[in-house]
Structure 1
Amino acid sequence: MYFVSVAEERSFTRAAERLRVVQSGVSAAVRGLERELGVQLFERTSQRVVLTDAGTALLPAARATIDAAQAARDAVDEVRGGLRGTLRIGTLTSVGFVDLPGLLGQFHAEHPHVDLRLRTATSGSAGLADALLDGELDVAFLSLSGHPPAGLSTRTLVAEPIVAVLPASHPLTERESVSLADLADEPFVDSPLGYGNRTEVDRGFAAAGLQRRVALEVADIATVPQYVGNGLGVALIPRFAVRPGPELALRPVLGTRLSWTFDVATAAARRPSAAVRALLRLVDAHRRS
Structure 2
Amino acid sequence: MELRQLEYFVAVAEERHFTRAAARMHVAQSGLSASIRSLERELGARLFVRNTRSVHLTDEGHALLTEARHTLANVTAAKDAVAAVQGLLRGTLTVGTLQCLGAVNLPAILARFHASHPGVELRLRQGGSTDLIERVRAGDLDLAFISTPFDEGAASGVTLTPLAAEPMMLACGPTHPLRDRDTVDLRELREETFVDFYPGWVTRDVVDQAMAAAHVERRVAFEVNDVHWLLDLVGYGLGVAVVPEVFSHKKTAARFIPLAAAPTWHIAIATATGRHPNAAAKALLSRDDVRPTS
TM-score by length of 1: 0.83
Match of 2:143 in 1: 139
Match of 2:109 in 1: 103
Given the alignment of the two structures, is residue 260 of structure 1 paired with residue 269 of structure 2, yes or no?
no
Q: Render the CA deviation track for 1:82-119: whole Å, top value 9, x for unaligned.
A: 23332221122244754434433443344344332221
Deviation, structure 1 residue 236: 0.5
TM-score by length of 2: 0.82
Matches within 5 A, 1:125-136: 125-136=129-140
Give the stretch that moved more between structures: 170-179 or 200-209: 170-179
Match of 2:243 in 1: 237
Of 187, 208, 215 in structure 2, the residue corresponding to residue 202 of structure 1 is 208
Determine the C-alpha separation between the residues in 2 that align with 1:275 and 1:3: 24
Determine the C-alpha separation between the residues in 1 that align with 2:234 and 2:156: 35
Match of 2:287 in 1: 282
Give the stretch that moved more between structures: 156-165 or 167-176: 167-176
Determine the C-alpha separation between the residues in 1 that align with 2:203 and 2:43: 45
Determine the C-alpha separation between the residues in 2 that align with 1:13 and 1:64: 24
Given the alignment of the two structures, is residue 79 of structure 1 paired with residue 85 of structure 2, yes or no?
yes
Deviation, structure 1 residue 279: 1.4
Structure 2 residue runs without a partner (length 5+) = 1-6
Of 163, 168, 175 in structure 2, the residue corresponding to residue 162 of structure 1 is 168
Q: Render the CA deviation track for 1:226-260: whole Å, top value 9, x for unaligned.
A: 21121211110112212589954432222x44122
Q: Render the CA deviation track for 1:34-81: whole Å, top value 9, x for unaligned.
A: 232232101223444321011122223323322332232233222322
Match of 2:274 in 1: 269
Given the alignment of the two structures, is residue 66 of structure 1 paired with residue 100 of structure 2, yes or no?
no
Determine the C-alpha separation between the residues in 2 that align with 1:205 and 1:273: 41
Determine the C-alpha separation between the residues in 2 that align with 1:184 and 1:22: 64
Q: Identify if the C-alpha distance between structure 1 residues 277 and 32 changes in structure 2 by more than 3 Å, giving closer, same or farther.
A: same
Retained in 2: the 8 A contact 1:99–1:286? no
Retained in 2: the 8 A contact 1:143–1:262? yes
Structure 1 residue runs without a partner (length 5+) = none
Determine the C-alpha separation between the residues in 2 that align with 1:281 and 1:64: 22
Given residue 270 of structure 2, which amino acid in structure 1 is its aligned partner? A
Of 37, 41, 45 in structure 1, the residue corresponding to residue 47 of structure 2 is 41
Q: Render the CA deviation track for 1:181-240: whole Å, top value 9, x for unaligned.
A: 221332111122333321211121233343222111222213422211212111101122
Determine the C-alpha separation between the residues in 2 that align with 1:13 and 1:24: 9
Of 56, 60, 65 in structure 2, the residue corresponding to residue 50 of structure 1 is 56
CA RMSD of aligned residues (A): 3.1
Given residue 262 of structure 1, which amino acid in structure 2 is its aligned partner? I
Determine the C-alpha separation between the residues in 1 that align with 2:165 and 2:222: 25
Pairs aligned (count): 285
Q: Render the CA deviation track for 1:258-284: whole Å, top value 9, x for unaligned.
A: 122332221122122211101112360
Determine the C-alpha separation between the residues in 2 that align with 1:173 and 1:251: 7
Retained in 2: the 8 A contact 1:98–1:283? no
Retained in 2: the 8 A contact 1:161–1:259? yes
Of 213, 219, 223 in structure 1, the residue corresponding to residue 219 of structure 2 is 213
Identity %: 46
Deviation, structure 1 residue 15: 4.0
Given residue 109 of structure 2, which amino acid in structure 1 is its aligned partner? L
Given residue 181 of structure 1, which amino acid in structure 2 is its aligned partner? R
Deviation, structure 1 residue 170: 2.9
Given residue 263 of structure 1, which amino acid in structure 2 is its aligned partner? A
Determine the C-alpha separation between the residues in 2 that align with 1:106 and 1:245: 26
Give the stretch that moved more between structures: 242-251 or 99-108: 242-251
Given residue 84 of structure 1, which amino acid in structure 2 is its aligned partner? R
Determine the C-alpha separation between the residues in 2 that align with 1:245 and 1:106: 26
Deviation, structure 1 residue 150: 2.9
